[in-house]
Chains A and B, each alone.
Chain A
Amino acid sequence: MLNIGGLTKGIVIDHIAVGGAMKIYEYLNLKDMDCSVAIIKNARSNKMGKKDIIKIETFDINIDNLGVWDSNITINIIENGVIKEKRNPRLPEQVTNIIKCKNPRCITSIEQELKHVFKLTDREKGIYRCIYCEQAFKKY
């Protein structure tokens, strides 16, 4: 397995479904961050077979709504080179303008000023549906 240097201080987003790392990278706007960021794709995982991982050398990012992207991820808070805290992602009941409806038949596809609002309809599976067309948000 590829070795990436350990993180002394920062956040590790683990157990990302394969293919999801870049979406989360874009959502967190990591390209504009000054800190070190490592993206590991297709890492071996006992639990998932394969997974993606992101390591970020800062606490200065908003990880509140990451569960909307992937409800199965684990968020590890690293301090002094050790995992200080493991968090499961929060699943807010409703999110506004965090994710976008991609259904071409949805009213949001033609009325640009409408807010993209999604409601959590299945907490167990982490399914969010657009309040207008009820289409489930496809994560990846």
Chain B
Amino acid sequence: MKHLISPLDLSVSELDEILDLAESIIQDPKKYANVCHHKKLATLFYEPSTRTRLSFEAAMLNLGGSVLGFSSADSSSAAKGESVADTIRVISGYADICAMRHPKEGAPLVASKYSSIPVINAGDGGHNHPTQTLTDLLTMKQLKGRLNNLTVGLCGDLKFGRTVHSLINALVRYENISFVLISPEELRIPTYLREEVLEANNISYKEVNVLEEVMPELDLLYMTRVQKERFFNEEDYIRLKDSFILDRKKMEYAKPDMLVLHPLPRVNEISTDIDDDPRAVYFKQAQFGVYVRMALIMKLLEVEVC
């Protein structure tokens, strides 16, 4: 039985299989409308989430399955002090597969060790969020047509942003990927990612703190939010925050086919001015999140389409 805890749990060929299946679902969703009939997805959300939980539930419902679960620790036995290990052993008897979000890093890995059903990590603190990575990759593959030969700009909070870390880990396995890392000094990628992932794999990258000057080079721009609380002082935040806001003026420097992705929720880092720009694909990206989760559920449940 397979779980999905880290984006690196999937080999490149397994990843490609999931993305291919997601693309088949996009082309003919009706064909998959009942493949999970009588199957149940448990959504174990120990902290609130809107899009991840709903996209998992939408994915299972689209496959003809059903869903059960809880959406906060307060409404689960965790409030009574039950361990993750005990919870998953019980839930294993109620559902066929589960998606777990937990504020503590590594909780889904603990669950996977005691579970008799596949466990999907739906986000564990600031650590991993593999289905967001799958969503990002499907968006790139669908709208860019490839996952290799890309110059990828990552902008915003690159220090704490788990989606950025997971995406870098996933993309370095494809050919001819280079990164442009755009962030304030204080929010650069962690040293281990620079040394153990980028440099260890001979990946070309540069670190800059001005978005405009690198816009013309990019095939993709992945935006993340720069959170005020990450700065040491308000003065720095005020000085830097506008450098990392994408607006119509900055988009003028971009290639005509550059795509803008964002894991959402957006606050102010992407101006609503560019929502109608065809290169702004973050809402499509959210939609792809449902398809890729459908494909993932099918793969983990080993459901075949006749």
Flag if B83 contacts A113 (CB, 8 Å): yes
Flag if B102 contacts A107 (CB, 8 Å): yes
For residues 101 through 140 of chain A, which have their beta carbon under 8 Å from a beta carbon of chain B?
Answer: 103, 105-111, 113-114, 121-122, 130-136
Flag if A131 contacts B109 (CB, 8 Å): yes
Flag whether B69 is at the interface (Cβ < 8 A): no
| Cα distance A113–B21 in the bound complex, in angstroms | 40
Contact of B104 among A107, A121, A122, A131 (CB under 8 A): A107
For residues 104 through 148 of chain B, which have their beta carbon under 8 Å from a beta carbon of chain A?
Answer: 104-107, 109-110, 124-127
| Cα distance A134–B121 in the bound complex, in angstroms | 15
| Cα distance A109–B105 in the bound complex, in angstroms | 10
Given the interface pairs A105-B125, A107-B110, the reply to whether A133 lies near B105 with Cβ below 8 Å is yes
Write out the residue numbers on chain A whose beta carbons fall within 8 Å of the beta carbon of B302: none
Contact of A132 among B83, B109, B196 (CB under 8 A): B109
Flag if B196 contacts A107 (CB, 8 Å): no
Flag whether B192 is at the interface (Cβ < 8 A): yes
Given the interface pairs A113-B83, A133-B127, A134-B127, the reply to whether A107 lies near B192 with Cβ below 8 Å is no
Flag if B192 contacts A131 (CB, 8 Å): no
Flag if B105 contacts A111 (CB, 8 Å): no
- From B83, B102, B106, B127, name the one whose CB has the most chain A CB atoms within 10 angstroms: B106
Residue numbers of B with Cβ under 8 A of A are 83-85, 102-107, 109-110, 124-127, 192, 196
Chain A: residues with Cβ within 8 Å of the partner, total of 19
Flag if A109 contacts B196 (CB, 8 Å): no
Write out the residue numbers on chain B whose beta carbons fall within 8 Å of the beta carbon of A135: 105
Residue numbers of A with Cβ under 8 A of B are 103, 105-111, 113-114, 121-122, 130-136
Flag if A130 contacts B192 (CB, 8 Å): no
Flag if A133 contacts B106 (CB, 8 Å): yes
Q: Closest residue of chain A to B104, judged by CB?
A: A107
Report 17 cross-chain contacts, Cβ distance below 8 Å, ordered by A residue: A103-B105, A105-B105, A106-B106, A107-B105, A107-B107, A111-B83, A111-B84, A113-B83, A121-B196, A130-B106, A131-B106, A132-B106, A133-B125, A133-B127, A134-B105, A134-B127, A135-B105
Write out the residue numbers on chain A whose beta carbons fall within 8 Å of the beta carbon of B103: 105
Flag if B104 contacts A106 (CB, 8 Å): yes
| Cα distance A121–B110 in the bound complex, in angstroms | 20
| Cα distance A137–B273 in the bound complex, in angstroms | 45
| Cα distance A135–B128 in the bound complex, in angstroms | 12
Q: Closest residue of chain B to A112, judged by CB?
A: B83
- From A107, A110, A121, A136, name the one whose CB has the most chain B CB atoms within 10 angstroms: A107
Interface of chain A, main secondary structure: loop
Closest CB of chain B to A118's CB: distance in Å? 12
- From A106, A108, A122, A130, name the one whose CB has the most chain B CB atoms within 10 angstroms: A106
Q: Closest residue of chain B to A110, judged by CB?
A: B104
Closest CB of chain B to A43's CB: distance in Å? 29
Closest 4 CB pairs of A and B: A132-B106, A133-B105, A107-B104, A107-B106
Extra 13 A-B pairs, beta carbons < 8 Å, given A107-B110, A132-B110, A133-B127: A105-B125, A105-B127, A106-B104, A106-B106, A107-B105, A107-B106, A107-B124, A109-B104, A110-B104, A111-B84, A122-B196, A131-B109, A134-B105
Write out the residue numbers on chain B whose beta carbons fall within 8 Å of the beta carbon of A109: 104
Write out the residue numbers on chain A whose beta carbons fall within 8 Å of the beta carbon of B126: 105
Closest CB of chain A to B55's CB: distance in Å? 24
Q: Closest residue of chain A to B6, judged by CB?
A: A134
| Cα distance A133–B127 in the bound complex, in angstroms | 7
| Cα distance A113–B113 in the bound complex, in angstroms | 14
Write out the residue numbers on chain B whose beta carbons fall within 8 Å of the beta carbon of A114: 110
Q: Closest residue of chain B to A108, judged by CB?
A: B106
Write out the residue numbers on chain A whose beta carbons fall within 8 Å of the beta carbon of B124: 107
| Cα distance A130–B85 in the bound complex, in angstroms | 18
Closest CB of chain A to B72's CB: distance in Å? 16
Write out the residue numbers on chain A whose beta carbons fall within 8 Å of the beta carbon of B127: 105, 133-134
| Cα distance A132–B124 in the bound complex, in angstroms | 10
| Cα distance A130–B104 in the bound complex, in angstroms | 13
